[in-house]
Copies of this chain bind each other. A is one copy, B any other.
Amino acid sequence: LSESQPRELADRVEINDLLIDYCRYIDRAELGSLVALFTENCVVEYGPGAGFSSRGRAVLERDLQRVWRFRRTAHHLSNIQIHFKGMDHASVVSSVMAWHESPDRSTALLYGRYDDDIIRTRAGWRISRRKLTNVGGDPVFDEIFYPGERAPAPAGWSWRPPNP
């Protein structure tokens, strides 16, 4: 066990709280607080379309005004894995269940994956790069977010229930 473990464990708590703050602020539509979780020159990629790839806090804050197309949202984070790359940098993967309610109260769900670079700044840990991929969810999101990766079935595979 390394001498640096106590620090690493404190860092894990801070990074966990940072990722959760993102969920809370987006659901509360507090965009100023939300973008303060990112570095000034962050790169945030949700998808290929205009407004879904934002460079810098100011642009991100403008682009995220799209949250108000929804009546409400709920972002639930899980599957958080933190890999440290030296003292001041972590590569983090997590899963988000993002529920979206439109003004007419129809809903759409996204099961997404965040790939983040998170760095230690003087003000604490901040997200410097985030990329979202669409692991699953309603078809309305097919074209909006980057698709996830999944291995294809082997050639010739077909489903056959095994013998009892």
Contact = CB atoms under 8 A, between A and B. Distances in A.
Interface of A: 1, 5-7, 9-10, 12-13, 16-17, 20-21, 23-24, 27-31, 49-51, 62-63, 65-66, 68-69, 72-81, 93, 95, 97, 99, 101, 105, 111, 135-137, 139, 148-153, 157, 159, 161-164
Contact of A77 (B17, B51, B78): B78
A24 B79 contact: yes
Given A101-B136, A136-B73, A162-B63, A78 B81 contact: no
B20 A74 contact: no
The DSSP consensus for interface residues of chain A is mixed
* Number of copies of this kind of chain in the complex: 3
A36 to B, nearest CB: 15
Contact of A111 (B13, B99, B135, B162): B99
A76 to B, nearest CB: 5
A157 B67 CA distance: 11
18 contacts: A5-B10, A17-B81, A21-B81, A31-B151, A50-B163, A62-B162, A65-B157, A66-B159, A68-B152, A68-B159, A69-B159, A72-B136, A76-B97, A76-B111, A77-B78, A78-B78, A99-B111, A101-B136
